[in-house]
Amino acid sequence: MEKRQELYAGKAKSVFRTDDPDKMVLVFRDDTSAFDGKRIEQLSRKGMVNNKFNAFIMTKLQEAGIPTHFEKCLSDTESLVKSLDMMPIECVVRNVAAGSLCRRLGVTEGQELSPPTFELFLKNDALGDPMINESHVESFGWAKADHLAKAKELTYKVNTVLKELFANGGMILVDYKLEFGLFHGEVVLGDEFSPDGCRLWDSKTREKLDKDRFRQGLGNVIESYEEIGRRIGIDFSA
Ligand code: C5P
C-alpha cells in the first residue's frame, strides 16, 4: 500500500488517497479545535494518543459486530481505513445532559436521560452544524431512509458496548458523536472515536476527562486523554 496525495484536511485529521481506491490513510494531527474552529491549538502527543485510542475502540466495536472503516494502524499517528461515501450528518447519543443540549433546552448539566436521546446534525461549517431531523435527511437526500435507520441502530449499539467498557474503567459515557458512510452499499462507522468526540466523566467525582477540558480551559487535556486510555487498557507506548 502506497500513501498518495492529500484528499482533505479537517480540523484535527488529514485524509490521504492510497494506490487502492478502496483504502485511505487517516493522519491524526496535534491540532485541537473548539467553537467551530474559532480556537485552534497544538497539543503535543494528541495525534498519537487519538490514533491509538481510535484504533482500540474501533477494534472493540468491530468485535461486537459493528462494521467500522478501521483496518490497521500504520504508524503512531496514521491508520489505514476503508474509503467510505460519507453521509454529511453527525449522529449524537446522550446518556446525561451536557453541552449544547443544556444550552438549547435550559436543562441542568448532569441530568440523566432515560432513555438516551438521539440527535442529528448537518455537517456544514458555514451554518455551524445545525440540528436537523430524520425527515430533513430524507427530503434533502442526505441519506436514504434505510441507511439512516441503520446508522441510528448502530449508534445505539455503540452505546451499549461503550457504556459498559467505560463503566468498567470507572467512567460515565455522557454523550458522543458518530459519523457513518457507505462501503459497497453497507452502512459502516467512519471518522473516529476519541475523547475529542465524546464526553466522559469520572463516575465518582464527575470530573470531566474529555475535550471539555480544552473547551473550558481546565488544563491537562492530553494527560486526561491518556488517563482515560489507561483505565480501559490502552498501552500508548506500544
Ligand atoms: O456540543 P454538543 O453537546 O452537541 O456535543 C455532543 C457530543 O458530540 C459531544 O461529545 C461532542 O464532543 C461531540 N461533537 C463532536 N463534533 C461536533 C459536535 C459535537 O465530536 N462537531
Q: How far is the CA of 32 from the centre of ligand 1 (A)?
A: 14
- pTM exceeds 0.95: yes
Cα separation of the two ends of the chain = 22
Which of 175, 179, 201, 208 gets mutated to test ligand 1 (max ligand atoms within 8 A of its CB)?
Answer: 175
ipTM of this complex prediction, to 2 decimal places: 0.99
- Residue by residue, pLDDT tens for the chain (238 residues) are 899 999 999 999 999 999 999 999 999 999 999 998 889 999 999 999 999 999 999 999 999 999 999 999 999 999 999 999 999 999 999 999 999 999 999 999 999 999 999 999 999 999 999 999 999 999 999 999 999 999 999 999 999 999 999 999 999 999 999 999 999 999 999 999 999 999 999 999 999 999 999 999 999 999 999 999 999 999 999 8
Residue pair 158/178 in contact by the 8 Å Cβ criterion: yes
Cα gap 46→228, rounded to integer Å = 13
- Reported as a single tens digit per residue, the pLDDT across 54-111 is 999 999 999 999 999 999 999 999 999 999 999 999 999 999 999 999 999 999 999 9
